[in-house]
Amino acid sequence: MPAALADFLLGELSVSTRKTLLGALCDGYLTGWRQEDLLTRKLAGIIQARSSWLPSRWQAMFMAVPEALDLEEGPKRFGQRLAAEPDPYRASLASGIAAPHDVGFMAAVHSAWLAAIPSPESEVSARRVLAWITPRDAPQLESDRGASAVQRLLMPWQSKMAPADLRSVLLPALTTAYGDPRRDRPEFWTLVSDDARRVIFRWLAGRSMEAFIDVVSRAEAAGAYSAQWASRRRFWMGLYEKGRIDEAWVALTRDAQAIAASLFQQTKDPAYESYGKQEGARKKTCLLVMRIGNLIVVEGSHDFRVHVFRTEDTAAPRLYASGYDAESFLLPVGHHDARMHDTAGNWMRWVERKIR
């Protein structure tokens, strides 16, 4: 816009008594807010000078959020205020901010709020972050701001396992809002750091493992291997809770897919919808593909032996594939990297030695 025209419009605004025009000015000020910006400073001056003529909602908002007219410390001060709120999104609405996730001033507030909140390691503090990024009856916070908050939730658990109760809160909330990062919405999840994504991959691994065992236990309920699944659950989930299993993915047969669909209808747990399909000649074999450090470990149903591969082995099954054929990577009987399940549990000690 030519400088002369901009000066003319600013002059008209500075003497206007038209509430619709002044309301548009306030809206433009908040969304166009930039620190140390000359236009932002001029608009703030006009708003203060014409405060008596502003629409009542804007008068109330600037009374409730005087930080919005503080060009130096405003976002920091309001962000710190919201950091003390149990529901910062609702607190913003109650203060007269019509769009708490908007650009401009509220984008700067988001950064300040994120810096001000304590490390979200408790359920209470984590729920405060969720209340901001996944508000009730409003769209979730997207793009880099949403990703920065998701990252803040995940990073405390980079080198330790989060409590199960906290995982049970965060995992469904994040995957419902932003999808399963193993297969959904790469445009969002690539904005989250690799370290933070590894944390949620680990959490998702636990749910995939539990879902796999639930499904296979039902599929084999009347079979010869049904009695083994209680001990297998204890073994694999024990390794998981020790932080040994980094990633996991499931491949289900057609019959097992029907069981998973039924469990999803009962529980609405998305873990029962997150799997690849086991195809090929082994019509009854479901697979659990796990990454443990630099190893790929494959568990399977029925008479499938536990297989261990190096991650760089081209014969190893890949994580997160849409389809699998167990025959394509099946090792010959007696191979030192495959072990049958025995009732004495020697296979468990064999796995523990392999993954040391």
Tens digit of each residue's pLDDT (9 = 90 or more) over 53-101? 999 999 999 999 999 999 999 999 999 999 999 999 999 999 999 999 9
Report the pLDDT value the prediction gives residue 249, as an integer from 0 to 100: 98
Element (H, E) at 63: helix 56-64
Give a yes or no: residue 16 inside a domain.
yes
Count the residues in the chain: 356
| Co-location of 113 and 44 in the same domain | yes
| Co-location of 174 and 69 in the same domain | no
| Co-location of 18 and 34 in the same domain | yes
The two tokens of residue 322 are 């849409």
Give a yes or no: residue 270 inside a domain.
yes
| Co-location of 244 and 261 in the same domain | yes
| Co-location of 45 and 59 in the same domain | yes
Identify the CA nearest to 348 among candidates 212, 238, 206, 226.
238
Q: How many CA atoms lie within 13 A of 325 on its CB side?
A: 5
Domain coverage including residue 239: 205-354
Q: Which long-range contacts (CB under 8 A, 24 or more apart) does 152-156 make?
A: 152/114, 152/117, 152/120, 153/120, 153/126, 153/129, 154/192, 154/196, 154/197, 154/199, 154/200, 155/193, 155/195, 155/196, 155/199, 156/119, 156/120, 156/121
Report the pLDDT value the prediction gives residue 222, as an integer from 0 to 100: 57
| Co-location of 349 and 214 in the same domain | yes
Domain boundary (61, 96, 117) is at 117
Q: Which long-range contacts (CB under 8 A, 24 or more apart) does 340-348 make?
A: 340/303, 340/305, 340/306, 341/225, 341/228, 341/232, 341/305, 341/306, 343/228, 345/231, 347/306, 348/235
Domain boundary (97, 117, 137) is at 117
Higher-pLDDT residue of 278 and 5 is 278
Give a yes or no: residue 28 inside a domain.
yes
State the pLDDT confidence band at 18, using cuts at 50, 70 and 90.
Answer: confident
| Co-location of 137 and 33 in the same domain | no
Give a yes or no: residue 197 inside a domain.
no
Q: How many CA atoms lie within 13 A of 46 on its CB side?
A: 24
| Co-location of 180 and 212 in the same domain | no
Please determine, for residue 5, whether its predicted confidence score (pLDDT) is greater than 50.
Answer: no
Q: Are 197 and 169 in contact (CB under 8 A)?
A: no
Mean pLDDT of 213-241: 85
| Co-location of 160 and 217 in the same domain | no
Provide, rounded to the nearest whole percent, the portion of the chain with pLDDT above 70: 94
Q: How far apart are CA 297 and CA 95, in angstroms?
A: 53
Report the pLDDT value the prediction gives residue 19, as an integer from 0 to 100: 85
State the pLDDT confidence band at 14, using cuts at 50, 70 and 90.
Answer: low
pLDDT in tens, 279-298: 988 888 999 999 999 999 99
Report the pLDDT value the prediction gives residue 58, as an integer from 0 to 100: 97
State the pLDDT confidence band at 224, using cuts at 50, 70 and 90.
Answer: low
State the pLDDT confidence band at 15, using cuts at 50, 70 and 90.
Answer: low
Please determine, for residue 106, whether its predicted confidence score (pLDDT) is greater than 70.
Answer: yes
What 8-state DSSP symbol labels residue 186?
Answer: H
pLDDT in tens, 294-342: 999 999 998 899 999 999 999 999 999 999 999 999 999 999 999 999 9
Task: Calculate the average pLDDT of the chain.
Answer: 93
Higher-pLDDT residue of 268 and 156 is 156
Q: Are 309 and 296 in contact (CB under 8 A)?
A: yes
Report the pLDDT value the prediction gives residue 8, as an integer from 0 to 100: 54
Q: In whole angstroms, how far apart are CA 253 and each of 102, 234, 256?
A: 46, 23, 5
Cα dihedral 270→299→242→234 (10° resolution): 90
Mean pLDDT of 146-171: 96
Q: How far apart are CA 4 and CA 299, in angstroms?
A: 73
Please determine, for residue 11, whether its predicted confidence score (pLDDT) is greater than 80.
Answer: no
Q: How far apart are CA 213 and CA 300, in angstroms?
A: 10
What 8-state DSSP symbol labels residue 293?
Answer: T
Domain boundary (82, 98, 117) is at 117
The two tokens of residue 232 are 């297998």
State the pLDDT confidence band at 226, using cuts at 50, 70 and 90.
Answer: low
Report the pLDDT value the prediction gives residue 300, as an integer from 0 to 100: 95
